A and B are shown apart, each in its own frame.
Chain A
């Protein structure tokens, strides 16, 4: 295909590129109430990772976010595939005592967790809610990654709330999952103002051309992360979208793995 870059040609020919591993920073596991997922278990997820050259998936099990069953799915999944999976500790601010407990036991799972995942829209609690505080404080003290579901216009995890927490916790490595979906200018502003922040591309590159190009033109590619919500969205589909974007192969390599490798170093 004449439009493709050298990296694109390799992905189209081979499906994966050895010197361009994919680090997916936004995954899940397990079934979901709202949609049918053909792939839900660690064995099948890792098999699909292999086919697309995805070296690492950092995920938070749906059960840790959408039920009150805690993080067992995260722990068992990572321990089944310690070379390919890491997890975010999922917390539910509607049960503050469980947030405290997860924070107190966080170090028991040093082989599992890289940081935390907050799903404020779904839990209907603002990111600044006191219930999150123990997790935020640990993340800030340890410089841990925190993946936020962020959505433009949301009163729970929209611009104002994200602005508050990135100011309040300057040492946490805060990833704006979905890049404040739809509120792209504010997402760019946050990256420009706060060095502890990153944009993540899930739901950004699947339904509209041009947003990724806008990000790269504005803030460069060094703080943009690949993410798919896997097993919601297909690895190759998202890789293909990034190959189709009008950015350089160096930008693509930053997004596919370099930025995540730096972010995860020490986590």
Chain B
């Protein structure tokens, strides 16, 4: 049997999945300002984070996207994530959309089609998502069962429409979902999985790394809904190489963001 490490592990974490703001349904823990979330990140030794605002989901992306801008603008350690709506209603997407993303240091997008009442498909998003693909902007999708989650069928349909989409599947569910995720990893090279719940499955990280490589996993904490210490401890002591751990903890997300063209 291989032994666990006997030396402290030093890994830089870059969190792909954290939100600010207070959910209307109540929450045991929430953070509202850049100072709040930076304190939490310091406590956990998380260097950087891509953040979104819960109002993007619960209230409206029209206002929620703006809340992200103000928080991200206060720290180089924070990057923003906006939420999209169908271009036809002119609420979020306009001709200056990508330049505004750049101006506000927004590097990722989210979509909550079921909660916001639209279909995440080519019929709806047409050339806009073609441009998202071309610019390699990652679309983060929270999967079913979690707040804002979309169905697996919707994710499969979206990727059939946009097979080259850079897509990070987040909050993959507490009922372990390899039977859903692995066909997507196999068919779409730009799909990766965020780890806040992938790490929950016993030996799932090790198994995915062995089959698909460490490049398909992106660290996320699920903060403030879940305990960041859980996926962090799992990754630090996963039975994979130190290089693979570094890729998952921060390197893969750095690479994804470095390719974004705005």
Residues of A bordering B, CB below 8 Å: 1-4, 8, 11-16, 34-39, 44, 47-48, 50-52, 203, 205-211, 213, 228, 230-241, 243-245
Chain B 240-255 near chain A by CB (<8 Å), digits 1 or 0: 0000000000000000
Tally of A-B residue pairs with Cβ under 8 A?
133
Q: Which residues of B contact A51 (CB under 8 A)?
A: 1-2, 4, 237, 239
Are B28 and A232 within 8 A (Cβ)? Answer: no
Give every chain B residue within 8 A of A211 (Cβ-Cβ): 28
Whether the pair B207, A38 counts as a contact (CB closer than 8 A) is: yes
Contact B230 A238 (CB under 8 A): yes
Chain B residues near A244 (CB-CB < 8 A)? 227-230
Hey, which chain A residues are within 8 Å of B207, CB to CB?
38
Which residues from chain A contact B129 at a C-beta distance below 8 Å?
A: none
Contact of A234 among B179, B199, B224 (CB under 8 A): B199
Q: Which of A38, A47, A48 has the most CB of B within 10 A?
A: A38
Contact B206 A11 (CB under 8 A): no
Interface residue stretch chosen among B40-48, B95-103, B162-170: B40-48
Name B1-32 residues within 8 Å CB distance of A: 1-2, 4-9, 28-29
Partner of A233, one of B28, B178, B201: B201
| Contacts A14-B4, A240-B233; A206 near B174 (Cβ below 8 A) | yes
A219 to B89 CA separation, bound complex (whole angstroms): 52
Whether A14 contacts B202 by the Cβ 8 Å rule is no
CB distance B4 to A206 under 8 Å?
no
Knowing A51-B239, A236-B234, A240-B227, the reply to whether A35 touches B203 (Cβ < 8 A) is: no
The answer on a CB contact under 8 Å between A206 and B226 is yes
Does B200 count as interface, using CB distance less than 8 angstroms? yes
B237 lies within 8 A of A15 (CB): yes
A230/B200 contact (C-beta < 8 A), A3-B44, A206-B230, A237-B231 known: no
- 25 A–B contact pairs at CB < 8 A? A11-B233, A12-B233, A13-B9, A14-B4, A14-B5, A15-B236, A16-B4, A37-B176, A48-B203, A51-B239, A205-B227, A206-B200, A206-B230, A208-B28, A208-B225, A209-B224, A209-B225, A230-B202, A231-B202, A233-B201, A235-B202, A236-B237, A237-B234, A241-B229, A241-B230
* Minimum distance in angstroms from B202 CB to a CB of chain A: 4
Bound-complex Cα distance A186 to B7 (A): 43
Asked whether any CB of chain A lies closer than 8 Å to the CB of B108, the reply is no
- The verdict on A209 contacting B227 (CB below 8 Å), with A14-B6, A203-B174, A240-B234 known, is yes
Q: How far is the CA of A44 from the CA of B202 in the complex (A)?
A: 11
Report, nearest first, the 5 A-B pairs whose CB atoms are least far apart.
A210-B28, A240-B233, A244-B227, A15-B4, A244-B229
How far is B8's CA from A245's CA once the two chains are assembled, in angstroms?
21
In-complex Cβ contact of B226 among A207, A213, A239 (8 A): A207
By a CB distance below 8 angstroms, the chain A residues around B200 are 206, 233-234, 237
What is the minimal beta-carbon distance from B180 to any residue of chain A, in angstroms? 10
Return the chain B residue nearest A230 by Cβ: B202
Contact present for B230 and A3 (CB under 8 Å): no
Q: Is the CB of A8 within 8 A of B229?
A: yes
Asked if B158 is an interface residue, CB under 8 A from chain A, the answer is: no
Question: Which of A1, A15, A207, A236 interacts with B174 by CB under 8 Å?
Answer: A207
What is the bound-complex CA distance between A37 and B8, given in angstroms?
A: 30
Q: Which of A1, A16, A48, A50 has the most chain B CB atoms inside 10 A of its CB?
A: A1
Judged by a CB distance under 8 angstroms, whether B143 is at the interface is no
Q: Contact check, B202 vs A243: say whether CB atoms are below 8 A apart.
A: no
Distance A51 CA – B174 CA, assembled complex (angstroms)? 23
Whether the pair B203, A38 counts as a contact (CB closer than 8 A) is: yes
